[in-house]
Structure 1
Amino acid sequence: METTDLVSGVAVFEWLNLKMLLILLLGFLLVYYLIQARTPSQLPPGLSFWSQCGYFFTRDKNLLHFKMVVKTYGNICRVNMFWVKVIILSGFQTIQEALIQHSKEFAGRPNMRINDFLTKGQGIISAPYGKSWKQQRRFTVTIFRNFGLGKIAFEVKIQEEARYLTETLKSKFEGQLVDPKPLITAAVSNVICSIVLGQRFHHDDKTFTRLIKLFDEALQLSSGFWIKACVVLPAIYYLPGPHQRIFENRAAIEAILQDFIRQHRETRNGENIRDFIDAYLLEMEKKQEADSFMLDGNLLCNIYDLFLAGTETTTTTLRWGLLYMMAYPDIQERCQKEIDEVIGRSRAPCLEDRARMPFVNAVIHEIQRCGNVLPLSVVHTTTQDTRFMGYTIKKDTLVLLNLWSVLTEERQWKHPHQFNPENFLNDSGEFFKPDAFIPFSMGPRACLGEKLAKMELFLFFTSLLQQLEFGWPDKTSPPNLEGMYQIVWAPHPYKVEVKCREH
């Protein structure tokens, strides 16, 4: 009886503690709101305090929240995640001015505890603007160029994966329904693996499939509730709970990548550079000076960043491509007609064909525009106090680049709100690219893999349509072209009906 009373007393005490904590939190938020309301600000206009709290607790998959904010407050506005201020920049001219005229001021990355826990400020994607980031980016660009980016060496790797993907669909899934995501992911990932790790993997390889699964999970965790909670309340990192899966996932990926690095150290052969890891290890030996950032931690984070960025964006764009081809079979047929006329069926597509295929090129760009896989880009921050468009933005303020607004801006496009390749064709039917086509962003933080992504999209897309037809299996309803937001803007899961093209 006494034990039961003791347990009940503890439960009541814990409940009272929780209640008191909630009261204190609400009190703090109210005081913060009153202080903010009374404090003169040179920040852009934005949502009310309570609307901002509501945003924190929702996963807005359709970007309606940001569309509403931009429509209400204009091309430079503000939202808050509680006490974390976020500036949203929209429209081509606004974003261009920020990233080109004020490139250094807007080139930062969030200085948050969550980044310290995950990356320790290393790598390329999340690294702060500074000497380390500049050295990593410059080295990576140089190595990619030395390995033949944009030339035959890279082209052959992509052609090999495109051929394997096409043959797999033909031999195993012809006449069937198939979810194309796993196959496309494996094919695109193998391109990065051959460059970074020096090998390609069979699609059923256990290490390879586990790595892909972990990266897919990392993407979902990066857009979930708990990552926001870690941003707002860094102290919860030290507490048990569902948010620990974020750090467990990162550790599992890094353990696999560390094993590849160890294997490279054991099998290196002098100046024989097999891949990115070999090149980096050699550079580490050469650069022994104290101010060099060619370090083990940067190598690990660089591999992580290259694998994630090099796989997910291209895979998602190709998934959008197949979905749009099923939604617009007339466009699919016209692409195949141009492929037959320029390439035929007997040889693989090559990059030299692109210049003679304006319609296919326009369709690929239109898929990127409408698919828009990074609608808010990667989060930027200001590197110093910045005077921009009449407002004062403090150092380390988070900045979201609303690329969606640029890619659908009515002044920039013939058909801004519909899928239409005419957006990239002039009156003579020739391909042209408007200045507002910036899915890879611009400025010093623009995607360094842009050239590789363009090669992959053309070769994979043309190879698939050259040999196969893709049909929507449900004849009673059209494909769902509404996406879902998981850091990348991705189509909902779907299955496709695969048929070999008749000769």
Structure 2
Amino acid sequence: MTLRDFGMGKDSMEDRIHEEIKYTMDTLEKSIGQSISPQIMFHNASSNIICQVLFGRRYEYDDEVIKVIVQCFTENAKISNGPWAMLYDSFPIIRSLPLPFRKAFKNVETCQKLAISWMNEHKQTRVPGDPRDFVDCYLDRLDKAGDDQTSFSEAQLTMYILDLHFAGTDTTSNTLLTGFLYLMNYPHIQGPRMCLGEGLARMELFLIMVTLLRKFKFIWPEDAGEPDYTPVYGVTLTPKPYRMKVQLRKTN
């Protein structure tokens, strides 16, 4: 049993991405002719795609669970590469003080509680030997290990859930934000039939961008001033918050 069996293979992942893109397109269609802030939208979409692989479920964009997840991830991405994180590493004596990096620990605790709740839910509903997603597959491996000395454990599963969820959300969403920032300000590359080849088209980033660009035109708002390409440093680079104007692309 490998990750390919529950969503990490190219074909099955493509299906999951296409399904999530439908919800992103619904969000954009409601904003035609308006300017919107795309940060949360792209984080929600990226989070839901990896959620389907890990837990076999997705959340509506206004669901409190996904709001909490995205907020915790974005806050920790900024904190972990900021000055307070460096001070925390350099001066252990300040670790007990109520300084900003304490927020990162609270966020991790919040996400750990969610991960444990998902794991416990799976333990109640799973069918051993017939995994639906990553969590089920890991629990099957735990069953096989029994009392043997092994690195597999429920605590380790919790950390894997957090690591994979964060990595699958933060990097993808921030790359999408950067890509659309440049696309709006260099509109000549927004070809409606933009294609980077069959192999790359199956990858999450390109599949989302190509699909959205076929239906929508993204414009830098007239009242937004000059675009600022200076990145914000965190676990990954992300552009400064911006707004985009959405229009339907004319079809021949």
TM-score by length of 1: 0.47
Range with bigger deviation, 143-152 or 267-276: 143-152
Structure possessing the higher radius of gyration over alpha carbons? 1
For 1:230, the equivalent position in structure 2 comes to: 88
Q: Cα deviation per residue 1:137-191 (whole Å; 9 max; x = unaligned)?
A: xxxxx63222253432211100011122112201x10000001111111111111
Shift of 1:475: 6.6
Unaligned runs of 5+ in 2: none
For 1:470, the equivalent position in structure 2 comes to: 218
For 1:246, the equivalent position in structure 2 comes to: 104
For 1:273, the equivalent position in structure 2 comes to: 131
Contact 2:78–2:233, Cα closer than 8 Å, also in 1? no
Structure 1 residue 286 corresponds to structure 2 residue 144? yes
Residues 1:278 and 1:460: Cα distance change in structure 2 (over 3 Å) = same
Which residue identity does 1:155 align to in structure 2?
Answer: E
For 2:228, the equivalent position in structure 1 comes to: 480
Shift of 1:502: 1.1
Measure, in 2, the Cα distance between the counterparts of 1:479 and 1:295.
48
Contact 1:354–1:458, Cα closer than 8 Å, also in 2? no
Measure, in 2, the Cα distance between the counterparts of 1:465 and 1:242.
39
Residues 1:232 and 1:173: Cα distance change in structure 2 (over 3 Å) = same
Measure, in 2, the Cα distance between the counterparts of 1:314 and 1:302.
18
Measure, in 2, the Cα distance between the counterparts of 1:338 and 1:484.
28
Measure, in 2, the Cα distance between the counterparts of 1:286 and 1:480.
53
Measure, in 2, the Cα distance between the counterparts of 1:337 and 1:246.
42
For 1:163, the equivalent position in structure 2 comes to: 22
Structure 1 residue 263 corresponds to structure 2 residue 125? no
Determine which of 141, 155, 160 is the counterpart of 1:297.
Answer: 155
Measure, in 1, the Cα distance between the counterparts of 2:174 and 2:65.
22
Shift of 1:216: 1.4
Measure, in 2, the Cα distance between the counterparts of 1:245 and 1:338.
42
Measure, in 1, the Cα distance between the counterparts of 2:21 and 2:90.
43
Identity level (%)? 33
Shift of 1:249: 1.7
Structure 1 residue 194 corresponds to structure 2 residue 52? yes
Q: Cα deviation per residue 1:255-300 (whole Å; 9 max; x = unaligned)?
A: 1111111111111222221111111111011113544100112101
Measure, in 2, the Cα distance between the counterparts of 1:354 and 1:194.
26
Structure 1 residue 185 corresponds to structure 2 residue 28? no
Residues 1:151 and 1:244: Cα distance change in structure 2 (over 3 Å) = closer
Q: Cα deviation per residue 1:404-450 (whole Å; 9 max; x = unaligned)?
A: xxxxxxxxxxxxxxxxxxxxxxxxxxxxxxxxxxxxxxxxxxxxxxx
Determine which of 332, 335, 355 is the counterpart of 2:198.
Answer: 355
Shift of 1:248: 1.6
Alignment size in residue pairs = 251
Q: CA RMSD of the aligned region, Å?
A: 2.1
Measure, in 2, the Cα distance between the counterparts of 1:320 and 1:243.
26
Structure 1 residue 502 corresponds to structure 2 residue 250? yes
Residues 1:336 and 1:475: Cα distance change in structure 2 (over 3 Å) = farther
Where in structure 2 are the equivalents of 1:11-160 lying within 5 Å?
143-160=2-19
Contact 2:34–2:245, Cα closer than 8 Å, also in 1? yes
More helix by share: 2
Measure, in 1, the Cα distance between the counterparts of 2:33 and 2:211.
18
Contact 2:194–2:210, Cα closer than 8 Å, also in 1? no
Contact 2:7–2:133, Cα closer than 8 Å, also in 1? no
Shift of 1:331: 1.2
TM-score by length of 2: 0.92
Residues 1:486 and 1:296: Cα distance change in structure 2 (over 3 Å) = same
Residues 1:272 and 1:238: Cα distance change in structure 2 (over 3 Å) = same
Which residue identity does 1:481 align to in structure 2?
Answer: Y
Contact 1:166–1:463, Cα closer than 8 Å, also in 2? no
Shift of 1:338: 4.2
Q: Cα deviation per residue 1:459-490 (whole Å; 9 max; x = unaligned)?
A: 10111100000001137844222212122111
Shift of 1:354: 2.5
Unaligned runs of 5+ in 1: 1-141, 340-352, 365-453
Contact 1:214–1:249, Cα closer than 8 Å, also in 2? yes
Which residue identity does 1:296 align to in structure 2?
Answer: E
Measure, in 2, the Cα distance between the counterparts of 1:280 and 1:326.
42
Shift of 1:242: 3.5
For 2:68, the equivalent position in structure 1 comes to: 210
Contact 1:326–1:472, Cα closer than 8 Å, also in 2? yes
Structure 1 residue 311 corresponds to structure 2 residue 172? no
Which residue identity does 2:249 align to in structure 1?
Answer: R
SS at match of 2:72: helix
Which residue identity does 1:491 align to in structure 2?
Answer: P
For 1:336, the equivalent position in structure 2 comes to: 192
Shift of 1:337: 4.1
Measure, in 2, the Cα distance between the counterparts of 1:191 and 1:316.
15
SS at match of 1:486: coil
Higher relative contact order (CA 8 A, sep 6+): 2
Measure, in 1, the Cα distance between the counterparts of 2:98 and 2:186.
49
